[in-house]
């Protein structure tokens, strides 16, 4: 990519980014193209990270392990739903990932957990997301009993209007009371440690900042 185009892209994305400065945006764009370069062999094809490539990044860089959640995170990033994360979606997504406010994160997480996108996290969805969260005890008659119970516990804690499912209002209220419940159904944000490492690595060279602004 030539310098002029990069400059222009950086400018555009910086203008649209709430949380990153020009330097950071530039570094993220560079990182994006490095990552894309690694995954797409053929030049000229759509520049973007497909599902697998993105999941790979989530796994190695942000320590995520849950396949289903990672799929949902991919969908969260892939705003235009074209099956790949382009550079704008990348910067935008990471903006939330790394610097998002609680409000932004709540909105994002709720979308991740609302598997069918109907505006509610239903019992079934919860069950689905929590089904691997407990060690199965072979002695138990119903191996899913624990999970079902966990779902009930979560509902008791978060379902304020007692309709058996979580609306965004339910979820928001619960999270405001206890921030730990933000990622109640699985880690869909980078954990603080890998976030720190990522930022340290990507944004490390501040000399270039002058380069960009000059």
For binding to other proteins (CB under 8 A), which residues are involved? 98-99, 102, 105, 129-130, 132-135, 137, 146, 149-150, 153-154, 156-157, 178-187, 191-193, 195-196
Residue 84's DSSP bridge partners are 50
Contacts of 190 (CB under 8 A, 6+ apart): 61, 62, 63, 64, 97, 98, 198
CA 178/CA 91 separation, integer angstroms: 29
Q: Indicate the Cα dihedral angle 79, 24, 100, 154, nearest 10°.
A: 80
At closest approach, how far in Å is the CB of 130 from other proteins? Answer: 7
At closest approach, how far in Å is the CB of 18 from other proteins? Answer: 13
Per the structure block, which two tokens stand in for 144?
Answer: 């899913």
DSSP string, 59-104: HHHH----HHHHHHHHHHH-TT-SSEE-HHHHHHHHHHHHH--HHH
Angle (nearest 5°) at CA 63 between 16 and 125? 80
Query: Helices 192-202 and 22-39 meet at what angle, rounded to 10?
Result: 100
H/E segment holding residue 37: helix 22-39
Question: Measured from the CB atom, is 40 or 160 closer to other proteins?
Answer: 160
How far CA 206 is from CA of 16, 83, 145, in Å, comes to 22, 34, 53
């Amino acid at each position: 990519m030539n310098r002029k185009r990069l400059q222009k892209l950086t400018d555009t994305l910086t203008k649209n980014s709430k949380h990153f400065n020009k330097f950071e945006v530039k570094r993220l764009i560079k990182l994006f193209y490095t990552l894309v370069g690694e995954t797409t062999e053929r030049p000229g094809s759509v520049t973007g990270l497909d599902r697998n490539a993105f999941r790979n990044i989530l796994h190695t860089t942000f320590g995520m392990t849950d396949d289903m959640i990672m799929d949902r995170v991919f969908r969260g990033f892939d705003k235009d739903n074209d099956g790949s994360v382009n550079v704008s979606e990348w910067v935008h997504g990471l903006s939330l990932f790394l610097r998002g406010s609680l409000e932004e994160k709540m909105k994002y997480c709720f979308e991740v957990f609302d598997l069918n996108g109907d505006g509610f996290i239903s019992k079934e969805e919860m069950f689905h997301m929590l089904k691997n969260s407990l060690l199965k005890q072979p002695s138990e008659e119903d191996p899913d009993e624990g999970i079902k119970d966990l779902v009930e516990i979560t509902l008791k804690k978060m379902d304020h209007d007692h309709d058996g499912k979580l609306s965004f209002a339910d979820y928001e209220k619960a999270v405001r009371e206890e921030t730990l419940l933000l990622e109640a159904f699985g880690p869909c944000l980078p954990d603080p440690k890998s976030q720190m490492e990522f930022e340290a690595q990507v944004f490390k060279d501040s000399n270039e900042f002058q380069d960009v602004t000059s």
